[in-house]
Chains A and B, each alone.
Chain A
């Protein structure tokens, strides 16, 4: 950030002259611009505060009840006949399981890709890989889901399992983690690498023992931010992971509930107060989950050994 401040009062060493004289309109424009910048920032905070207020105020009662965290939706009656909110444990567990499997798939590929881009890649191939990482980060989640569907169901004729959603989510997570890891690896001072080479350490051990540990907390930050992003992703789940109101802890069979699909499932009956409670409860849980992971990621980033 710049350390400059506008010379608001300076009239120049030679005193006010024809050129340093600030006409009324110029001054007014300056004041208006300052006001516009402040206003834009304050206006942007309105939706944030509004969303937080709506979701947390409507979902708070559900969040505060122990049942929500202990039970699933088994025994739920059709909307209008049910008088208990019941639990969201199946959805919380489902979201965490799917996002964890996603990370297990995506993180090794992403970190290795970043290592390739920083430590190995030169010339055309590296530029192509870097370009494709950008393209992958721009692929809409629904297209990733369609792709997995086209491969898994149409081409191989397999039955959809919750892990399919993780495959699609991994496509969204790879570019996020690759880019953040790449940034961190670039920040590792070259002197560290050279010192290691000078001691006769092979390149791969230099990367594993010197470069990665130095950039470790930054990489963890990237992984957590990626985790938070895929945990809140809905579109691939609707296409690939059918919602189930029962707790399922097996990613490779049956269907599995998740917080976004729980919201989507109950949203149709939002006129019913019990369904509405479930919707806002799940939304509040999801927002809190994503925010906590996000904050955790930023906190870990504070302990980074390398800084911008």
Chain B
């Protein structure tokens, strides 16, 4: 798929008639008291959002530092998590479980989402398109604790024999090896599959939106050159929608990284001191599930600070992922508006 096939044409730059005209009422304020108060309130609300996000970073950092100062292990590379004195905690294991589950989710969800978005915009019969999109959106409305319940209690049992089969056949690959002591389906890989279902509606909805914006001229051009429908999609729709799909995937990734209760209910936690394994068929804890599992013991002391430090890393991780998504969208807007 080379973008030089379609590239960006003059069609993208010409404003379409239905695009909203930019608002021009900037000078409409009369300077009266009511106007000034309302303006201040609106601006204040807008800035409060900036303040909230800044405060999150500041407070988490401030509470993490005392705990980090008492830490006897390397915070980045240690796989231990001991919050009783002497404290020794590191995020290596949490980071691995978090990233591994989210990446499995992404690898599974993106192709599905793109295919479903293409189905909804290009293939589905007219009468089906709207109800079908609503059904996919329903997946996003299911609360995550229900996913946890369903995944951990119902699907995990069905998954276990499949996983057993994969591990037996492909166990020579380190990522798919059997882990001694882990039975049943509650593994990193399986959590990834459930997360994939959870982020699928997000990626689908956003991809659908960008695919629907593909300029008709591009599509007609492809058809005029004798392309089949699939070739039209490959040469017109997909290159046009690629930045949108990438940024939708990043948003989905952000959601998967921070998912808490479903992961906590499904993934079997490992006891302290378990040997390290790269296998996806291992248990573990993500940042979010580790924090949540300790929620009952939170007192606000140094031990809590260790969990807040983990929360800070999770915050930074999702911040970066979401910022990347945003930048990609912005760049695309610069091309299409």
Residues of chain A whose beta carbon lies under 8 Å from any beta carbon of chain B: 1-2, 4, 6-7, 12, 19-20, 22, 26-27, 29-30, 33-34, 36-41, 43-45, 47-48, 50-51, 54-55, 108-110, 112-113, 115-122, 125-126, 128-129, 131-144, 146-147, 149-151, 153-155, 157, 171, 174-175, 178, 186-187, 190, 193-194, 197, 202-208, 228, 231-235, 238-239, 260, 263-264, 267, 270, 279, 283, 286-287, 290-291, 294, 298
Closest Cβ neighbor of B294 among chain A residues: A239
A54-B150, A119-B25, A150-B63 known; A142+B42 contact, CB < 8 A: no
Stretch at the interface among B30-38, B77-85, B168-176: B30-38
Q: Does B26 contact A (CB under 8 A)?
A: yes
Interchain CB contact under 8 A, B141 and A294: yes
A128-B50, A264-B261 known; A204+B35 contact, CB < 8 A: yes
Chain B neighbourhood of A30, CB < 8 A: 228-231
A304 → B minimal CB distance (Å): 16
Task: Give Cα A2 to B121, complex, Å.
Answer: 8
B254 → A minimal CB distance (Å): 4
Name B46's contact: one of A34, A50, A117, A234 (CB within 8 Å): A117
Chain A neighbourhood of B129, CB < 8 A: 1
Interchain CB contact under 8 A, B228 and A6: yes
Chain A neighbourhood of B24, CB < 8 A: 190
Task: Give Cα A287 to B150, complex, Å.
Answer: 12
Closest Cβ neighbor of B118 among chain A residues: A37
Chain A neighbourhood of B143, CB < 8 A: 231-234, 260, 286-287, 290
Most buried by B among A141, A174, A175: A141
Most buried by B among A19, A48, A279, A298: A48
Chain A neighbourhood of B216, CB < 8 A: 2, 4
Task: Give Cα A189 to B124, complex, Å.
Answer: 32
Most buried by A among B53, B120, B141, B145: B145
What total count of A-B pairs have CB within 8 Å?
308
Report B55-89 CB contacts with A as 1/0, cut-off 8 Å.
Answer: 11001101100000000000000000000000000
Task: Give Cα A135 to B315, complex, Å.
Answer: 10
B307 → A minimal CB distance (Å): 7
Task: Give Cα A57 to B122, complex, Å.
Answer: 35
Task: Give Cα A120 to B129, complex, Å.
Answer: 37
Interchain CB contact under 8 A, A141 and B260: yes
A26 → B minimal CB distance (Å): 6
Interchain CB contact under 8 A, B146 and A120: no
Chain B neighbourhood of A110, CB < 8 A: 45
Residues of chain B whose beta carbon lies under 8 Å from any beta carbon of chain A: 20-21, 23-26, 28-30, 32, 34-35, 37-39, 41-50, 52-53, 55-56, 59-60, 62-63, 111-112, 115-116, 118-124, 126, 129, 132, 134-136, 138-139, 141-147, 149-150, 153-155, 197, 200, 204, 212, 214, 216, 219-220, 223, 226, 228-233, 251, 254-255, 257-261, 265, 287-288, 291-292, 295, 298, 300, 304, 307-308, 311, 314-315, 318-319, 321-323, 325-326
A159 → B minimal CB distance (Å): 11
A153-B300, A286-B143 known; A54+B154 contact, CB < 8 A: yes
A112-B46, A270-B153 known; A142+B258 contact, CB < 8 A: yes
A146 → B minimal CB distance (Å): 4
B315 → A minimal CB distance (Å): 5
Interchain CB contact under 8 A, A138 and B322: yes
Judged by DSSP, the binding face of B is helix
Task: Give Cα A190 to B25, complex, Å.
Answer: 9
Closest Cβ neighbor of B41 among chain A residues: A112
**A/B interface sample: 9 pairs, CB < 8 A:** A50-B154, A116-B43, A120-B46, A136-B49, A142-B287, A143-B318, A150-B62, A154-B300, A235-B288
Task: Give Cα A27 to B223, complex, Å.
Answer: 14
Chain B neighbourhood of A151, CB < 8 A: 55, 59
Interchain CB contact under 8 A, B311 and A143: yes
Chain A neighbourhood of B34, CB < 8 A: 202, 204-205
Interchain CB contact under 8 A, B326 and A134: yes
Task: Give Cα A38 to B176, complex, Å.
Answer: 30
A133 → B minimal CB distance (Å): 6
A18 → B minimal CB distance (Å): 11
Interchain CB contact under 8 A, B48 and A138: no
Name A232's contact: one of B59, B144, B292 (CB within 8 Å): B144
Closest Cβ neighbor of A235 among chain B residues: B260
Chain A neighbourhood of B124, CB < 8 A: 41
Task: Give Cα A54 to B129, complex, Å.
Answer: 27
Name B116's contact: one of A44, A128, A131, A260 (CB within 8 Å): A44
A136-B53, A143-B258, A234-B145 known; A129+B20 contact, CB < 8 A: no
Interchain CB contact under 8 A, A238 and B261: yes
Interchain CB contact under 8 A, B321 and A41: no
Interchain CB contact under 8 A, B258 and A283: no
B16 → A minimal CB distance (Å): 14
Chain A neighbourhood of B60, CB < 8 A: 143, 146-147, 150
Interchain CB contact under 8 A, B115 and A37: yes
Chain A neighbourhood of B154, CB < 8 A: 50, 54
Closest Cβ neighbor of B18 among chain A residues: A308
Interchain CB contact under 8 A, B150 and A203: no
Chain B neighbourhood of A270, CB < 8 A: 153
Closest Cβ neighbor of A193 among chain B residues: B25
